Structure 1
Amino acid sequence: MNDIEAELDDYLARYADTLTSYDAHAAAGLWGTPGMILTDEQGAGVLESREAMAAGLEQSYPLYRRLGLASVGYERLGHERLGDTIFLVRVRWLFYDSDGNRMTDSHGSYILRRGDEGLRAFVCVPADDAEKLQALAAEKGVGLTT
């Protein structure tokens, strides 16, 4: 493993830890500003501040708790250097219940930039999280609010 792979894995592990602990402010701290979520369905959403990012994350936590999400892991599927400090990272997120059983997964791509604070995400392109979340909610009989 080369240095950037170790750095990327450290970043992803810290991000997964913030999701496991439902720490929206720590998760937002791993983002640069502005941050963008780019989807096929909703287009581009831009969050100008880390406070706005944390607030957005916190809105999803009640649903995740109702679904029984207890921990998050990841697999780094690949990465590409786009510039001296910019990297494209493909990730498979793994979601577990309190017994350690995998509930679902999702895939996403992130553009990260290394700056004075280390790596920070600036763009996320989720591939299948909405579909996987809907399927898990249906399986567990949990209603999704829009």
Structure 2
Amino acid sequence: MTTTRDEIEAFLVEYQESLSTFDAERAVTHWGMPGMIVSDAFVGTLSSTTEMAAGLKQSYPFYQALGLASVGHTLLEQADLTARLTRIHVRWHFYDGDSALLTDGDYEYLLRRDDDGRLKAYVAVAIDEMEKLTALAAAKGIELPTS
């Protein structure tokens, strides 16, 4: 069984809504455990939804200081790897309260269809997030978090 674009779009819309409302508990329902996040500066595995929700909540003050009010996305690529695994390339769009684009950032995700039929993210690779957030923070005079 392949994953349809409509299924992926529904997954991404639900996920972006949880990110837009800073709802960590809702966001982590889109993740399978363990979940892995990889970037140039960081590699980490989170073994529980509680741990992941805590990590998300820790980042919220920074995003709020940047003026983030909503999140959108563009699905750039999809590749079915197996009947249950799909790799996607997503560009996230970060908007302020006036719906003006603050910045964007690309991610690759490995999605897996779990036994209950739901798609869940198991791996996220941040492609250009740090560079773009650093530039936005500098432009706004906001200090980057140290942890």
Contact 2:72-2:93 at 8 Å conserved across structures: yes
What is the DSSP-based 3-state SS (H/G/I as helix, E as strand, rest coil) of the residue aligned with 2:26? helix
| Structure 2 unpaired stretches of 5+ | none
- SS of equivalent residue, structure 2 residue 4: helix
* Aligned ranges 1:39-58 → 2 under 5 Å: 39-42=39-42, 44-58=43-57
Give the number of aligned pairs: 144
1:123 is aligned to 123
Q: Mark the runs of 5 or more structure 1 residues left unpaired by the alignment.
A: none
2:37–2:123 CA contact under 8 A, matched in 1: yes
Partner of 2:103: 104
Structure 1 residue ranges (4+ consecutive) displaced by more than 4 angstroms after TM superposition = none
Q: Give, in whole Å, the separation in 1 of the partners of 2:57 and 2:135.
A: 21
Q: Please report the TM-score for the alignment, with normalisation by the length of structure 1.
A: 0.95
- State how far apart, in whole Å, the 2-side matches of 1:59 and 1:132 are: 19
Q: Which residue of 2 aligns with 1:30?
A: 30
How many angstroms apart in 1 are the aligned matches of 2:137 and 2:113? 36
Question: Which amino acid is 1:99 matched to?
Answer: D
Cα distance in 1 for partners of 2:132, 2:3 equals 33
In structure 1, what residue type is equivalent to 2:86?
Answer: F
Q: For residues 67-121 of structure 1, what are the alpha-carbon distances to aligned partners after superposition, in whole Å with 9 as ceiling and x for unaligned?
A: 1000000000010001101100000000000001000000000000012151000
Please show how residues 74-113 of structure 1 align to structure 2 within 5 Å.
74-113=73-112
Distance in 2 separating the partners of 1:83 and 1:51: 29
Structure 1 residues 117 and 49: CA distance shift in structure 2, 3 A: farther
Mean Cα displacement is larger for which, 112-121 or 58-67? 112-121
Instruction: Provide the TM-score with structure 2 as the length reference.
Output: 0.95
